[in-house]
Each structure stands twice: as structure tokens, then as C-alpha cells.
Amino acid sequence: MDVIKSQQISVRPVEKVVVHPLVLLSIVDNYNRVAKDTRKRVVGVLLGSAFKGTIDVTNSYAVPFEEDDKDPSIWFLDHNYHEAMFSMFKRINAKEHVVGWYSTGPKLRENDLDIHGLFNNYVPNPVLVIIDVQPKELGIPTKAYYAVEEVKENATQKSQKVFVHVLSEIAAHEVEEIGVEHLLRDVKDTTISTLATEVTGKLTALKGLDARLREIRSYLDLVIDEKLPLNHEILYHLQVYFWAAHIFLFWSSLWNNVFNLLPNLNVSELIKGFAVKTNDMMLVIYLSSLIRSVIALHNLINNKMLNKEHEKAEDSKPVAVPATAGS
């Protein structure tokens, strides 16, 4: 077996595990495609980085996994698939390394320590993150663990590994925050809006824009005062940022004007009007279908009557008797 080892991961004890939204979305998507409405769980690999005891989980992918419900010691994890996937991920982002694995649990199971031992071949101190894809209580849906060697007081007993719970949290980069905000905006019912909600949203957006503009201004002031060196790459990104902001503001104002002209579909009178109009159209379609069926049946009867008349006419014709020789 070709073992992929990551030399970048420190063996320092894990103090905190930070899970990014992209990982949660990927795991939920995998669960809905593979194990939804079943008692199965899905298992996969966590990618990211480690720094001073903090594991930053930025990416993940699922791995084919099977286990026996009656005998927990019987399980299969396709490590060849994992190694092939990791080699492809490494070409895209060499900074991401294997930091552990995930399970949809929703709790620890008997064979988790055995599976955890398999990932020791890829990272010195892997973490296990259990994702509750169907949470029943409020709070973050993640629980993180790492394994430690438990030394028995009795010297005759062998030491064994046990899971230790570690603090976990959900965090995102600025780009991910924008994606999550748009996702939450799509989840909400955008047709129901109040003046307070709109004002709050505008105020929050303006505060974020003001904070970023202040940060940019402070950086440019430091560059002008020659306290920081001139970086052309940063200036290029600032120009792109301002152009993108200008285009975004233009299109957002245009779309706001377009959507403001649309009717509110939650007004009872409008709903009733749509229902009446739809019922009238369906009634016309229903009546036209009935008329078409009656006409088709009438044509069928006429066709049968014509065929019978044609048969009677054929039967009533005299039959010519052929003349015999010598008559």
C-alpha cells in the first residue's frame, strides 16, 4: 500500500478544530445522495492545515465506506480511492493536507478507533469530526475528537487509545461569508419583507463596506508615508475591487428597481385572483377536451353506419352467373 504521509502536520496536541462552511455543505450533500432515509452513515477525509494546535479544516471529500450493522468489527474503507483523490486534490492546492476524517455518526461508534488508526498512516495526529446532519437541538452540528494513549494504573494491563473531546467552531473566510450570505438569502422567503428588515440589511451592508474602506484607506496612508513598501499586486487587487464594487452597485440598483415592480404574491386578494384566473383557463381546457371526445365518438358512429350501408349495398348487387358451354 502506497502511504501518503504529510510532513507539514505538527504532532502538537490539538486544542481547537475550525470547520469551514464548504466542508459542511459537502458532507450534507454526500449524505443526501448516499444515506438519506437510511441508518447508514457516510465517512470521508478532512483536508486543511495545522498551526499551533489549531486544525483548520477547509475542504473534504467522501470515501466509499461500508460496515456491518450486526458486527462493528467488520468494516471497509477504500484507502486506494482516498489516495487517488488526495493526489488530485494536492495538484489543485498543495497547502491542504490530510488532517483527519469525518463521520455523520451522529455519535461515536465502536469501530471508530479502528478507523482512526488507519488515518495514522496519513497524519501523525488525526482528528475525527462528527457532523450531525439532522440536528434536533440548537447549536453547532460538529463535535471534534482526537485519540490519546490511556495508561492503566495496573502495569499488567496494556494501554489503549481513547477519544478526547476537543473544542470545535465554525468559521469562514471573507469569500465564504459572501457565499453563505447569498445561500441564506435564498433560503429565506424573499417575498415577505418588512421595512425594518430592509433597513437592517442595508445598514449591515453599509457598515461592512465602511469598515473595508477604512482599512484600505489606512493601508494607503501608510504607503504614502513610506511606512510600508509599495506593493503593485495589492494596488492591482484594490483597483479590481473598486471596479467590481462599482459594477455590483450598478447591477444591484437595477435589479432592485426591477424586483420592486413585481407584485407581492402573499396578498390574499392577488392569490385569489390568480386562482380564479387559473380555474377559468382550466375550465375552458376541460370543456374543449369533452367536446373533442364527443366529436371523435360521433365521427366513429358515423363511420360505422357508412360501413354498414356500404356492406348492404354490396350484398344487394346481383351475382353474375357464368355461361356454360353447349347452352
Average pLDDT for residues 160-186, to the nearest whole number? 78
pLDDT (0 to 100) of residue 82: 92
Average pLDDT for residues 136-162, to the nearest whole number? 78
**CB-CB contact of 98 with 122 (8 Å):** yes
Average pLDDT for residues 321-325, to the nearest whole number? 59
Grid coordinates given for 262: 413585481
DSSP letter for each residue of 44-59 = EEEEEEEETTEEEEEE
Pick from 45-54, 145-154, 315-324: least confident: 315-324
pLDDT (0 to 100) of residue 155: 59
Grid coordinates given for 313: 349495398
pLDDT (0 to 100) of residue 227: 87
pLDDT (0 to 100) of residue 321: 60
Give the separation between CA 29 and CA 31, rounded to whole angstroms. Answer: 5
Contacts of 51 (CB under 8 A, 6+ apart): 10
Q: Does domain 16-173 have CATH number 3.40.140.10?
A: yes
Give the number of other CB atoms < 10 A from CB of residue 200.
11
Confidence band for 323, pLDDT divided at 50, 70 and 90: low
Predicted confidence (pLDDT) per residue in 70-106, tens digit: 888 889 999 899 999 999 998 888 889 999 999 998 8
Residue 326 reports pLDDT greater than 70: no
pLDDT (0 to 100) of residue 126: 92
pLDDT (0 to 100) of residue 52: 85
21 compared with 321, residue with greater pLDDT: 21
pLDDT (0 to 100) of residue 4: 45
Average pLDDT for residues 21-28, to the nearest whole number? 89
Residue 17 reports pLDDT greater than 90: yes
Least Cα distance to 110 among 150, 69, 141 occurs for 69
Predicted confidence (pLDDT) per residue in 263-279, tens digit: 666 778 878 888 888 88
Above pLDDT 70, what percent of the chain? 82
Residue 43 reports pLDDT greater than 70: yes
Predicted confidence (pLDDT) per residue in 187-211, tens digit: 555 555 555 566 677 777 778 878 8
Domain boundaries, the chain: 16-173, 189-229, 231-257, 263-314
**CB-CB contact of 120 with 126 (8 Å):** yes
Predicted confidence (pLDDT) per residue in 111-128, tens digit: 899 999 899 889 988 999
Grid coordinates given for 248: 455590483
